[in-house]
Structure 1
Protein backbone atom coordinates (compact mmCIF):
# COMPACT_ATOMS: atom_id res chain seq x y z
CA UNK A 1 0.00 0.00 0.00
CA UNK A 2 1.05 3.61 -0.35
CA UNK A 3 3.25 4.72 2.53
CA UNK A 4 3.46 8.24 3.76
CA UNK A 5 6.97 9.63 4.03
CA UNK A 6 7.66 11.62 7.16
CA UNK A 7 10.89 13.55 7.38
CA UNK A 8 12.56 13.19 10.74
CA UNK A 9 15.86 14.73 11.78
CA UNK A 10 18.77 12.51 12.72
CA UNK A 11 18.65 13.94 16.22
CA UNK A 12 15.12 12.63 16.63
CA UNK A 13 16.19 9.25 15.33
CA UNK A 14 19.17 9.11 17.64
CA UNK A 15 16.94 9.75 20.63
CA UNK A 16 14.22 7.36 19.55
CA UNK A 17 15.55 4.42 21.52
CA UNK A 18 15.19 6.26 24.79
CA UNK A 19 12.03 8.20 24.02
CA UNK A 20 8.36 7.37 24.19
CA UNK A 21 7.41 10.32 21.95
CA UNK A 22 7.51 8.38 18.68
CA UNK A 23 4.50 9.79 16.88
CA UNK A 24 6.55 12.12 14.66
CA UNK A 25 8.42 9.17 13.17
CA UNK A 26 5.52 6.77 12.92
CA UNK A 27 4.01 5.96 9.56
CA UNK A 28 0.24 6.17 9.24
CA UNK A 29 -1.56 3.04 10.24
CA UNK A 30 1.09 2.02 12.76
CA UNK A 31 0.05 4.38 15.52
CA UNK A 32 -1.85 1.93 17.69
CA UNK A 33 -2.72 3.24 21.13
CA UNK A 34 0.11 2.80 23.61
CA UNK A 35 -0.50 0.21 26.28
CA UNK A 36 -1.22 1.73 29.65
CA UNK A 37 0.75 0.65 32.68
CA UNK A 38 -2.21 1.34 34.92
CA UNK A 39 -4.25 -1.63 36.15
CA UNK A 40 -7.47 -2.14 34.18
CA UNK A 41 -10.79 -1.31 35.79
CA UNK A 42 -13.04 -4.29 36.59
CA UNK A 43 -15.08 -3.65 33.44
CA UNK A 44 -11.85 -3.67 31.38
CA UNK A 45 -10.36 -6.73 33.00
CA UNK A 46 -9.71 -9.63 30.65
CA UNK A 47 -11.34 -11.86 33.27
CA UNK A 48 -14.56 -9.86 33.59
CA UNK A 49 -17.77 -11.00 31.99
CA UNK A 50 -18.05 -9.69 28.45
CA UNK A 51 -20.39 -6.76 28.07
CA UNK A 52 -23.33 -7.34 25.72
CA UNK A 53 -23.68 -5.28 22.57
CA UNK A 54 -26.24 -2.48 22.71
CA UNK A 55 -28.15 -4.27 19.96
CA UNK A 56 -27.14 -7.86 19.37
CA UNK A 57 -28.90 -7.80 16.00
CA UNK A 58 -26.66 -4.97 14.79
CA UNK A 59 -23.04 -6.13 15.07
CA UNK A 60 -20.35 -3.48 14.93
CA UNK A 61 -18.04 -3.57 11.93
CA UNK A 62 -14.41 -2.92 12.92
CA UNK A 63 -11.95 -2.45 10.08
CA UNK A 64 -8.42 -3.72 10.52
CA UNK A 65 -5.85 -0.94 10.43
CA UNK A 66 -3.62 -1.03 7.39
CA UNK A 67 0.03 -1.21 8.42
CA UNK A 68 2.71 -0.26 5.84
CA UNK A 69 5.34 -2.88 6.61
CA UNK A 70 8.37 -3.59 4.44
CA UNK A 71 7.97 -6.81 2.55
CA UNK A 72 11.41 -7.94 1.46
CA UNK A 73 11.29 -9.14 -2.14
CA UNK A 74 12.20 -12.72 -2.93
CA UNK A 75 15.26 -11.84 -4.97
CA UNK A 76 14.67 -8.33 -6.29
CA UNK A 77 11.90 -5.97 -7.32
CA UNK A 78 12.74 -3.67 -10.22
CA UNK A 79 10.28 -1.13 -11.60
CA UNK A 80 10.50 -0.42 -15.32
CA UNK A 81 9.79 3.12 -16.61
CA UNK A 82 7.47 3.18 -19.61
CA UNK A 83 6.86 5.79 -22.31
CA UNK A 84 3.17 4.94 -22.59
CA UNK A 85 2.40 7.58 -25.21
CA UNK A 86 -0.85 8.67 -23.60
CA UNK A 87 0.41 12.16 -22.68
CA UNK A 88 3.10 13.56 -24.98
CA UNK A 89 4.47 16.92 -26.07
CA UNK A 90 6.81 17.39 -28.99
CA UNK A 91 8.26 19.55 -31.69
CA UNK A 92 10.73 18.64 -34.42
CA UNK A 93 13.62 18.50 -31.91
CA UNK A 94 12.33 16.78 -28.78
CA UNK A 95 9.61 14.42 -27.55
CA UNK A 96 8.44 14.47 -23.94
CA UNK A 97 6.37 11.58 -22.60
CA UNK A 98 4.57 12.65 -19.41
CA UNK A 99 2.21 9.68 -19.26
CA UNK A 100 3.51 8.40 -15.93
CA UNK A 101 4.09 11.54 -13.90
CA UNK A 102 1.96 9.95 -11.17
CA UNK A 103 4.83 7.52 -10.63
CA UNK A 104 7.26 10.42 -10.29
CA UNK A 105 9.13 10.45 -13.60
CA UNK A 106 9.08 11.76 -17.15
CA UNK A 107 10.78 10.40 -20.27
CA UNK A 108 12.47 12.55 -22.88
CA UNK A 109 14.27 11.99 -26.15
CA UNK A 110 16.06 14.29 -28.57
CA UNK A 111 15.08 14.14 -32.23
CA UNK A 112 17.68 16.45 -33.74
CA UNK A 113 21.33 16.02 -34.73
CA UNK A 114 23.26 18.33 -32.39
CA UNK A 115 25.90 16.27 -30.54
CA UNK A 116 25.67 18.22 -27.29
CA UNK A 117 22.28 18.58 -25.60
CA UNK A 118 21.23 19.83 -22.17
CA UNK A 119 17.96 19.38 -20.29
CA UNK A 120 16.71 21.59 -17.49
CA UNK A 121 13.84 20.52 -15.24
CA UNK A 122 12.54 23.09 -12.77
CA UNK A 123 9.69 22.86 -10.31
CA UNK A 124 8.09 26.26 -9.77
CA UNK A 125 9.93 28.04 -6.95
CA UNK A 126 12.48 25.26 -6.53
CA UNK A 127 15.90 24.12 -7.71
CA UNK A 128 16.73 23.73 -11.40
CA UNK A 129 18.13 20.30 -12.30
CA UNK A 130 20.45 20.30 -15.33
CA UNK A 131 21.21 17.08 -17.20
CA UNK A 132 22.98 16.02 -20.37
CA UNK A 133 20.75 14.30 -22.92
CA UNK A 134 22.03 11.77 -25.44
CA UNK A 135 21.41 12.41 -29.14
CA UNK A 136 20.65 8.81 -30.09
CA UNK A 137 16.90 9.29 -30.36
CA UNK A 138 16.05 7.00 -27.45
CA UNK A 139 14.20 7.89 -24.27
CA UNK A 140 15.96 8.75 -21.04
CA UNK A 141 14.29 8.81 -17.63
CA UNK A 142 14.28 11.86 -15.37
CA UNK A 143 12.84 11.88 -11.84
CA UNK A 144 10.44 14.54 -10.56
CA UNK A 145 12.47 14.73 -7.38
CA UNK A 146 10.76 17.78 -5.91
CA UNK A 147 7.31 16.17 -5.62
CA UNK A 148 3.93 17.23 -7.02
CA UNK A 149 3.56 20.63 -8.64
CA UNK A 150 4.18 22.60 -11.82
CA UNK A 151 7.38 21.76 -13.71
CA UNK A 152 9.04 23.39 -16.67
CA UNK A 153 11.00 21.07 -18.98
CA UNK A 154 13.46 22.64 -21.40
CA UNK A 155 15.85 21.18 -23.98
CA UNK A 156 18.87 23.15 -25.21
CA UNK A 157 21.22 22.63 -28.15
CA UNK A 158 24.85 23.63 -27.97
CA UNK A 159 25.89 26.63 -30.06
CA UNK A 160 29.55 26.88 -29.03
CA UNK A 161 31.52 26.42 -25.83
CA UNK A 162 29.04 26.70 -23.00
CA UNK A 163 26.50 28.62 -25.07
CA UNK A 164 23.14 26.93 -25.75
CA UNK A 165 19.94 27.82 -27.58
CA UNK A 166 16.52 26.64 -26.46
CA UNK A 167 15.11 23.89 -28.65
CA UNK A 168 12.02 22.83 -26.67
CA UNK A 169 10.01 24.01 -23.67
CA UNK A 170 6.93 22.57 -21.99
CA UNK A 171 5.13 23.20 -18.71
CA UNK A 172 3.53 20.17 -17.05
CA UNK A 173 1.53 19.74 -13.86
CA UNK A 174 2.59 16.66 -11.94
CA UNK A 175 0.22 14.98 -9.49
CA UNK A 176 2.52 12.34 -8.04
CA UNK A 177 0.39 9.60 -6.52
CA UNK A 178 3.36 7.36 -5.73
CA UNK A 179 5.49 9.70 -3.64
CA UNK A 180 8.28 7.13 -3.48
CA UNK A 181 8.34 6.65 -7.24
CA UNK A 182 11.14 9.14 -7.97
CA UNK A 183 13.35 7.18 -5.56
CA UNK A 184 12.41 3.63 -6.56
CA UNK A 185 12.51 3.76 -10.37
CA UNK A 186 15.80 3.79 -12.28
CA UNK A 187 16.77 7.08 -13.93
CA UNK A 188 19.63 8.64 -15.83
CA UNK A 189 21.86 8.89 -12.74
CA UNK A 190 20.87 5.58 -11.15
CA UNK A 191 20.48 3.39 -14.21
CA UNK A 192 19.63 -0.31 -13.79
CA UNK A 193 17.12 -2.93 -14.94
CA UNK A 194 16.00 -6.40 -13.97
CA UNK A 195 18.90 -7.97 -15.89
CA UNK A 196 21.58 -5.75 -14.33
CA UNK A 197 24.44 -7.50 -12.58
CA UNK A 198 24.07 -4.94 -9.80
CA UNK A 199 20.47 -6.07 -9.21
CA UNK A 200 21.41 -9.76 -9.21
CA UNK A 201 24.33 -9.13 -6.89
CA UNK A 202 22.13 -7.08 -4.56
CA UNK A 203 19.63 -9.93 -4.36
CA UNK A 204 22.40 -12.39 -3.48
CA UNK A 205 23.97 -10.07 -0.90
CA UNK A 206 20.62 -9.48 0.82
CA UNK A 207 19.31 -13.05 0.63
CA UNK A 208 19.75 -13.47 4.38
CA UNK A 209 18.98 -9.89 5.46
CA UNK A 210 16.26 -9.90 8.09
CA UNK A 211 14.85 -6.38 7.66
CA UNK A 212 15.37 -2.99 6.05
CA UNK A 213 18.21 -1.96 8.34
CA UNK A 214 20.02 -5.23 7.60
CA UNK A 215 19.54 -4.72 3.85
CA UNK A 216 21.10 -1.23 4.06
CA UNK A 217 24.01 -2.47 6.17
CA UNK A 218 24.67 -5.55 4.02
CA UNK A 219 24.68 -3.57 0.75
CA UNK A 220 26.91 -0.87 2.22
CA UNK A 221 29.37 -3.44 3.57
CA UNK A 222 29.47 -5.30 0.27
CA UNK A 223 30.19 -2.19 -1.81
CA UNK A 224 32.91 -0.73 0.39
CA UNK A 225 34.56 -4.15 0.70
CA UNK A 226 34.52 -4.98 -3.01
CA UNK A 227 34.89 -1.60 -4.74
CA UNK A 228 38.15 0.38 -4.63
CA UNK A 229 38.49 4.10 -5.21
CA UNK A 230 39.76 4.85 -8.72
CA UNK A 231 42.14 7.77 -8.32
CA UNK A 232 43.10 7.81 -12.02
CA UNK A 233 39.47 8.07 -13.07
CA UNK A 234 38.83 10.78 -10.49
CA UNK A 235 41.67 12.85 -11.98
CA UNK A 236 40.43 12.50 -15.56
CA UNK A 237 36.61 12.35 -15.32
CA UNK A 238 34.81 14.89 -17.49
CA UNK A 239 31.68 16.93 -16.88
CA UNK A 240 28.58 14.98 -17.84
CA UNK A 241 29.92 11.64 -16.62
CA UNK A 242 27.19 9.13 -15.78
CA UNK A 243 27.83 5.98 -13.74
CA UNK A 244 27.40 2.54 -15.28
CA UNK A 245 26.70 0.43 -12.22
CA UNK A 246 27.45 -2.89 -13.94
CA UNK A 247 30.80 -1.66 -15.26
CA UNK A 248 31.71 -0.42 -11.79
CA UNK A 249 30.78 -3.80 -10.34
CA UNK A 250 32.79 -5.70 -12.98
CA UNK A 251 35.87 -3.48 -12.68
CA UNK A 252 35.55 -3.36 -8.88
CA UNK A 253 36.57 0.27 -8.81
CA UNK A 254 35.03 3.68 -9.23
CA UNK A 255 34.77 7.27 -8.10
CA UNK A 256 32.42 8.52 -5.39
CA UNK A 257 29.58 9.02 -7.85
CA UNK A 258 29.94 5.36 -8.84
CA UNK A 259 29.77 4.20 -5.22
CA UNK A 260 26.62 6.22 -4.63
CA UNK A 261 24.88 5.06 -7.81
CA UNK A 262 25.73 1.41 -7.21
CA UNK A 263 24.47 1.43 -3.62
CA UNK A 264 21.33 3.32 -4.63
CA UNK A 265 20.56 0.89 -7.46
CA UNK A 266 20.99 -2.09 -5.15
CA UNK A 267 18.78 -0.57 -2.45
CA UNK A 268 16.02 0.42 -4.87
CA UNK A 269 16.02 -3.08 -6.34
CA UNK A 270 15.38 -4.32 -2.80
CA UNK A 271 12.28 -2.10 -2.71
CA UNK A 272 13.78 0.46 -0.35
CA UNK A 273 13.08 4.09 -1.41
CA UNK A 274 16.51 5.69 -1.71
CA UNK A 275 17.67 9.21 -2.53
CA UNK A 276 21.11 9.86 -3.95
CA UNK A 277 21.68 13.36 -2.56
CA UNK A 278 24.37 15.80 -3.66
CA UNK A 279 25.08 19.00 -1.78
CA UNK A 280 27.49 20.59 0.65
CA UNK A 281 28.89 19.92 4.08
CA UNK A 282 30.75 23.09 4.94
CA UNK A 283 32.65 24.02 1.77
CA UNK A 284 32.99 20.41 0.62
CA UNK A 285 30.91 19.15 -2.29
CA UNK A 286 29.50 16.09 -0.69
CA UNK A 287 27.27 13.10 -1.39
CA UNK A 288 25.05 11.01 0.82
CA UNK A 289 22.21 8.53 0.65
CA UNK A 290 18.86 8.83 2.41
CA UNK A 291 16.55 5.85 2.79
CA UNK A 292 12.95 5.47 3.87
CA UNK A 293 12.40 2.99 6.72
CA UNK A 294 8.94 1.89 7.76
CA UNK A 295 7.98 3.34 11.12
CA UNK A 296 10.77 5.93 11.01
CA UNK A 297 10.33 7.82 7.74
CA UNK A 298 13.22 9.26 5.74
CA UNK A 299 16.55 8.69 7.47
CA UNK A 300 19.00 11.34 6.30
CA UNK A 301 22.71 10.70 5.70
CA UNK A 302 22.40 6.98 6.42
CA UNK A 303 25.29 6.43 3.97
CA UNK A 304 27.54 9.41 3.37
CA UNK A 305 30.86 10.48 1.92
CA UNK A 306 32.97 12.53 4.30
CA UNK A 307 35.44 13.74 1.68
CA UNK A 308 37.68 10.70 2.03
CA UNK A 309 35.54 7.62 2.64
CA UNK A 310 32.01 6.33 2.42
CA UNK A 311 30.55 5.69 5.85
CA UNK A 312 27.43 4.09 7.23
CA UNK A 313 25.32 5.79 9.86
CA UNK A 314 23.32 2.69 10.73
CA UNK A 315 20.19 3.95 12.53
CA UNK A 316 20.50 1.12 15.03
CA UNK A 317 24.04 2.20 15.87
CA UNK A 318 22.99 5.83 16.06
CA UNK A 319 20.05 5.19 18.36
CA UNK A 320 22.26 3.16 20.68
CA UNK A 321 25.02 5.77 20.59
CA UNK A 322 27.61 3.27 19.41
CA UNK A 323 29.13 5.60 16.87
CA UNK A 324 32.01 7.77 18.02
CA UNK A 325 31.06 10.92 19.90
CA UNK A 326 32.52 13.07 17.13
CA UNK A 327 30.48 11.33 14.42
CA UNK A 328 27.30 11.44 16.50
CA UNK A 329 27.65 15.18 17.08
CA UNK A 330 28.25 15.82 13.41
CA UNK A 331 25.44 13.74 11.95
CA UNK A 332 23.16 14.95 14.72
CA UNK A 333 23.49 18.50 13.45
CA UNK A 334 21.35 18.73 10.33
CA UNK A 335 22.81 22.13 9.49
CA UNK A 336 26.06 20.39 8.53
CA UNK A 337 24.31 18.96 5.47
CA UNK A 338 22.89 21.20 2.78
CA UNK A 339 21.31 19.05 0.10
CA UNK A 340 21.07 20.61 -3.35
CA UNK A 341 19.94 17.78 -5.63
CA UNK A 342 18.20 14.45 -5.09
CA UNK A 343 18.36 11.81 -7.82
Structure 2
Protein backbone atom coordinates (compact mmCIF):
# COMPACT_ATOMS: atom_id res chain seq x y z
CA UNK A 1 0.00 0.00 0.00
CA UNK A 2 2.82 2.39 0.94
CA UNK A 3 4.52 1.74 -2.40
CA UNK A 4 1.30 2.41 -4.24
CA UNK A 5 0.72 5.70 -2.39
CA UNK A 6 4.31 6.84 -3.10
CA UNK A 7 3.90 6.01 -6.76
CA UNK A 8 0.61 7.91 -6.85
CA UNK A 9 2.23 10.98 -5.25
CA UNK A 10 5.08 10.84 -7.77
CA UNK A 11 2.63 10.66 -10.65
CA UNK A 12 0.68 13.63 -9.28
CA UNK A 13 3.89 15.68 -8.93
CA UNK A 14 4.99 14.71 -12.44
CA UNK A 15 1.57 15.66 -13.81
CA UNK A 16 1.71 19.07 -12.08
CA UNK A 17 5.23 19.72 -13.43
CA UNK A 18 4.15 18.77 -16.95
CA UNK A 19 1.14 21.09 -16.73
CA UNK A 20 3.39 23.94 -15.52
CA UNK A 21 5.87 23.38 -18.36
CA UNK A 22 3.16 23.16 -21.00
CA UNK A 23 1.47 26.28 -19.61
CA UNK A 24 4.80 28.12 -19.78
CA UNK A 25 5.23 27.13 -23.44
CA UNK A 26 1.67 28.18 -24.22
CA UNK A 27 2.27 31.51 -22.45
CA UNK A 28 5.43 32.14 -24.46
CA UNK A 29 3.77 31.06 -27.72
CA UNK A 30 1.00 33.60 -27.19
CA UNK A 31 3.43 36.43 -26.52
CA UNK A 32 6.55 35.64 -28.57
CA UNK A 33 5.77 34.85 -32.20
CA UNK A 34 8.61 34.05 -34.59
CA UNK A 35 7.93 35.06 -38.21
CA UNK A 36 11.20 34.24 -40.03
CA UNK A 37 9.58 34.51 -43.47
CA UNK A 38 8.86 38.16 -42.62
CA UNK A 39 12.27 38.63 -40.99
CA UNK A 40 10.79 39.50 -37.59
CA UNK A 41 9.66 38.28 -34.20
CA UNK A 42 6.42 39.80 -32.90
CA UNK A 43 5.90 40.54 -29.21
CA UNK A 44 2.36 40.79 -27.88
CA UNK A 45 2.67 41.72 -24.22
CA UNK A 46 0.16 43.78 -22.24
CA UNK A 47 1.01 45.61 -19.04
CA UNK A 48 0.14 48.85 -17.29
CA UNK A 49 3.73 50.13 -17.14
CA UNK A 50 6.02 49.36 -20.06
CA UNK A 51 8.90 51.34 -18.57
CA UNK A 52 9.77 48.31 -16.44
CA UNK A 53 10.09 45.81 -19.30
CA UNK A 54 12.84 44.86 -21.72
CA UNK A 55 13.30 42.20 -24.36
CA UNK A 56 16.55 40.40 -25.18
CA UNK A 57 16.91 38.73 -28.57
CA UNK A 58 19.91 36.41 -28.69
CA UNK A 59 21.58 34.19 -31.28
CA UNK A 60 24.81 32.43 -30.33
CA UNK A 61 27.03 35.09 -28.70
CA UNK A 62 25.19 38.04 -30.27
CA UNK A 63 22.32 39.79 -28.56
CA UNK A 64 20.19 42.91 -28.84
CA UNK A 65 18.34 44.55 -25.95
CA UNK A 66 15.20 46.60 -26.54
CA UNK A 67 12.66 48.45 -24.42
CA UNK A 68 9.06 47.30 -24.78
CA UNK A 69 6.78 50.24 -25.53
CA UNK A 70 3.48 48.76 -26.70
CA UNK A 71 1.43 45.57 -26.64
CA UNK A 72 2.11 44.75 -30.30
CA UNK A 73 5.64 45.35 -31.60
CA UNK A 74 7.92 43.77 -34.19
CA UNK A 75 11.67 43.30 -33.86
CA UNK A 76 14.17 42.22 -36.53
CA UNK A 77 15.81 38.81 -36.82
CA UNK A 78 18.89 40.53 -38.23
CA UNK A 79 21.47 38.07 -36.90
CA UNK A 80 20.88 35.52 -39.65
CA UNK A 81 19.45 32.00 -39.56
CA UNK A 82 20.02 29.79 -36.53
CA UNK A 83 18.85 29.22 -32.97
CA UNK A 84 17.28 32.33 -31.43
CA UNK A 85 16.18 32.89 -27.85
CA UNK A 86 13.80 35.74 -27.11
CA UNK A 87 13.15 36.64 -23.48
CA UNK A 88 11.08 39.30 -21.73
CA UNK A 89 12.38 40.75 -18.46
CA UNK A 90 10.77 42.93 -15.81
CA UNK A 91 12.69 45.40 -13.68
CA UNK A 92 12.03 44.56 -10.01
CA UNK A 93 14.49 46.90 -8.27
CA UNK A 94 17.41 49.10 -9.24
CA UNK A 95 19.28 47.13 -11.95
CA UNK A 96 17.72 43.78 -11.12
CA UNK A 97 15.44 42.03 -13.58
CA UNK A 98 13.39 38.85 -13.49
CA UNK A 99 12.53 36.77 -16.52
CA UNK A 100 8.83 36.81 -17.38
CA UNK A 101 8.92 34.37 -20.28
CA UNK A 102 11.16 33.18 -23.10
CA UNK A 103 11.01 31.11 -26.27
CA UNK A 104 13.77 29.51 -28.32
CA UNK A 105 13.49 28.45 -31.94
CA UNK A 106 15.75 27.47 -34.81
CA UNK A 107 14.72 29.56 -37.81
CA UNK A 108 15.68 30.07 -41.44
CA UNK A 109 15.42 33.82 -41.88
CA UNK A 110 14.36 35.54 -45.07
CA UNK A 111 17.27 38.00 -45.29
CA UNK A 112 15.55 40.25 -47.82
CA UNK A 113 12.47 40.54 -45.61
CA UNK A 114 14.62 41.57 -42.64
CA UNK A 115 15.72 44.68 -44.52
CA UNK A 116 12.25 45.58 -45.74
CA UNK A 117 10.20 45.00 -42.59
CA UNK A 118 8.41 47.52 -40.41
CA UNK A 119 9.96 47.15 -36.95
CA UNK A 120 10.00 49.05 -33.67
CA UNK A 121 12.55 51.73 -34.60
CA UNK A 122 11.52 51.89 -38.28
CA UNK A 123 7.77 51.64 -37.94
CA UNK A 124 5.87 52.33 -41.13
CA UNK A 125 2.46 51.62 -42.71
CA UNK A 126 1.05 52.32 -46.16
CA UNK A 127 -1.33 55.03 -44.95
CA UNK A 128 1.35 57.09 -43.18
CA UNK A 129 2.13 60.51 -44.67
CA UNK A 130 5.84 59.71 -45.01
CA UNK A 131 5.05 56.57 -46.99
CA UNK A 132 2.55 58.35 -49.23
CA UNK A 133 5.26 60.93 -49.88
CA UNK A 134 7.79 58.19 -50.70
CA UNK A 135 5.44 56.86 -53.37
CA UNK A 136 5.00 60.35 -54.82
CA UNK A 137 8.73 61.05 -54.87
CA UNK A 138 9.46 57.76 -56.65
CA UNK A 139 6.63 57.95 -59.16
CA UNK A 140 7.85 57.36 -62.73
CA UNK A 141 11.40 56.61 -61.56
CA UNK A 142 12.85 53.32 -62.75
CA UNK A 143 16.02 52.32 -60.88
CA UNK A 144 16.54 51.87 -57.15
CA UNK A 145 19.35 54.43 -57.29
CA UNK A 146 17.03 57.04 -58.82
CA UNK A 147 14.39 56.28 -56.20
CA UNK A 148 16.93 56.48 -53.39
CA UNK A 149 18.24 59.80 -54.70
CA UNK A 150 14.72 61.24 -54.67
CA UNK A 151 14.21 60.36 -51.00
CA UNK A 152 17.74 61.33 -50.01
CA UNK A 153 17.51 64.74 -51.70
CA UNK A 154 14.16 65.43 -50.05
CA UNK A 155 15.44 64.57 -46.57
CA UNK A 156 18.68 66.55 -46.71
CA UNK A 157 16.84 69.59 -48.12
CA UNK A 158 13.78 69.47 -45.87
CA UNK A 159 14.83 68.18 -42.43
CA UNK A 160 16.94 70.29 -40.08
CA UNK A 161 18.86 69.07 -37.05
CA UNK A 162 17.08 69.50 -33.71
CA UNK A 163 19.79 70.52 -31.26
CA UNK A 164 17.33 70.96 -28.40
CA UNK A 165 16.03 67.42 -28.76
CA UNK A 166 19.59 66.13 -28.93
CA UNK A 167 20.33 67.74 -25.55
CA UNK A 168 17.17 66.45 -23.88
CA UNK A 169 16.74 62.99 -25.42
CA UNK A 170 15.81 60.13 -23.07
CA UNK A 171 16.85 56.49 -23.23
CA UNK A 172 13.44 55.08 -24.27
CA UNK A 173 13.03 57.50 -27.21
CA UNK A 174 11.76 56.05 -30.48
CA UNK A 175 11.41 57.92 -33.79
CA UNK A 176 7.96 58.49 -35.28
CA UNK A 177 8.47 59.15 -38.97
CA UNK A 178 5.31 61.20 -39.52
CA UNK A 179 6.27 63.48 -36.62
CA UNK A 180 9.72 64.02 -38.16
CA UNK A 181 8.09 64.76 -41.51
CA UNK A 182 5.56 67.17 -40.01
CA UNK A 183 8.01 69.02 -37.75
CA UNK A 184 10.74 69.03 -40.42
CA UNK A 185 13.39 68.46 -37.77
CA UNK A 186 15.01 65.66 -35.81
CA UNK A 187 18.15 64.01 -34.49
CA UNK A 188 20.23 61.39 -36.30
CA UNK A 189 17.89 58.62 -35.08
CA UNK A 190 14.95 60.44 -36.72
CA UNK A 191 16.79 61.05 -40.00
CA UNK A 192 17.85 57.40 -40.23
CA UNK A 193 14.47 55.97 -39.30
CA UNK A 194 12.70 58.20 -41.82
CA UNK A 195 15.15 57.31 -44.58
CA UNK A 196 14.97 53.55 -43.99
CA UNK A 197 11.19 53.50 -43.57
CA UNK A 198 10.53 55.43 -46.77
CA UNK A 199 12.90 53.23 -48.77
CA UNK A 200 11.75 49.93 -47.25
CA UNK A 201 8.13 50.77 -47.96
CA UNK A 202 8.99 50.94 -51.66
CA UNK A 203 11.00 47.73 -51.77
CA UNK A 204 14.52 49.15 -51.40
CA UNK A 205 16.49 47.22 -48.78
CA UNK A 206 17.78 49.49 -46.04
CA UNK A 207 19.27 49.26 -42.56
CA UNK A 208 19.43 51.60 -39.60
CA UNK A 209 22.97 51.53 -38.21
CA UNK A 210 24.26 52.75 -34.85
CA UNK A 211 27.87 53.36 -33.94
CA UNK A 212 30.65 55.91 -34.01
CA UNK A 213 31.57 58.40 -36.70
CA UNK A 214 34.46 60.78 -37.27
CA UNK A 215 31.84 63.42 -38.09
CA UNK A 216 30.58 63.57 -34.49
CA UNK A 217 31.86 62.95 -30.98
CA UNK A 218 28.59 61.38 -29.80
CA UNK A 219 26.94 58.01 -30.47
CA UNK A 220 25.47 58.24 -33.95
CA UNK A 221 22.92 56.70 -36.32
CA UNK A 222 23.00 56.40 -40.11
CA UNK A 223 21.84 54.06 -42.89
CA UNK A 224 23.06 51.37 -45.18
CA UNK A 225 21.14 51.13 -48.46
CA UNK A 226 21.40 48.27 -50.96
CA UNK A 227 22.16 49.80 -54.38
CA UNK A 228 23.65 48.23 -57.49
CA UNK A 229 24.46 44.98 -55.72
CA UNK A 230 26.20 46.39 -52.65
CA UNK A 231 25.48 48.07 -49.33
CA UNK A 232 26.19 51.81 -49.41
CA UNK A 233 26.81 53.84 -46.23
CA UNK A 234 24.52 56.89 -46.15
CA UNK A 235 24.52 59.63 -43.49
CA UNK A 236 21.70 62.03 -44.25
CA UNK A 237 22.10 63.78 -40.88
CA UNK A 238 25.66 64.87 -41.66
CA UNK A 239 24.91 65.56 -45.32
CA UNK A 240 21.92 67.78 -44.46
CA UNK A 241 24.21 70.00 -42.36
CA UNK A 242 27.02 70.05 -44.93
CA UNK A 243 24.59 70.78 -47.73
CA UNK A 244 23.14 73.76 -45.88
CA UNK A 245 26.71 75.03 -45.35
CA UNK A 246 27.38 74.66 -49.10
CA UNK A 247 30.30 72.37 -48.22
CA UNK A 248 31.63 69.61 -50.45
CA UNK A 249 31.01 66.03 -49.33
CA UNK A 250 30.76 62.47 -50.61
CA UNK A 251 27.28 61.00 -50.48
CA UNK A 252 28.63 57.49 -49.94
CA UNK A 253 30.58 57.25 -46.70
CA UNK A 254 33.24 54.67 -45.76
CA UNK A 255 33.88 52.19 -42.95
CA UNK A 256 36.76 54.43 -41.91
CA UNK A 257 34.49 57.35 -41.06
CA UNK A 258 31.57 55.21 -39.86
CA UNK A 259 32.21 52.31 -37.49
CA UNK A 260 29.19 50.03 -37.12
CA UNK A 261 28.25 48.78 -33.64
CA UNK A 262 24.61 47.81 -34.10
CA UNK A 263 22.56 47.00 -37.19
CA UNK A 264 18.77 46.99 -37.46
Q: Which category describes the TM-score, using the shorter chain as reference length?
A: 0.7 to 0.9
Deviation at 1:202, TM superposition (A): 0.7
Corresponding residue for residue 5 of structure 2:
none
Correspondences of 1:1-343 after superposition (within 5 Å): 90-91=26-27, 95-98=31-34, 100-115=35-50, 116-126=52-62, 128-134=63-69, 136=70, 138-176=71-109, 178-281=110-213, 284-293=218-227, 296-303=228-235, 305-306=237-238, 309=241, 331-332=253-254, 334-343=255-264
SS in 2 for 1:154: strand
Instruction: Kindly indicate whether the alpha-carbon contact (under 8 Å) linking 1:93 and 1:168 is maintained by their aligned counterparts in 2.
Output: no
d(CA) in 2 for partners of 1:335 and 1:224? 22
In structure 1, stretches of 5+ residues that fail to align are 1-87, 312-322
SS in 2 for 1:110: coil
d(CA) in 2 for partners of 1:342 and 1:310? 25
TM-score by length of 2: 0.79
The structure with the larger Rg is 1
d(CA) in 2 for partners of 1:263 and 1:230? 16
1:182-233: per-residue Cα shift (whole Å, max 9, x none)? Answer: 1101000000101111100111111143311111111011012111211221
Deviation at 1:285, TM superposition (A): 2.3
Aligned alpha-carbon RMSD (Å) = 2.8
TM-score by length of 1: 0.62
d(CA) in 1 for partners of 2:88 and 2:239? 33
Deviation at 1:251, TM superposition (A): 1.4
- Which structure 1 residue ranges, 4+ long, deviate > 6 Å from structure 2? none
Higher helix share: 2
SS in 1 for 2:102: strand
Deviation at 1:276, TM superposition (A): 0.8
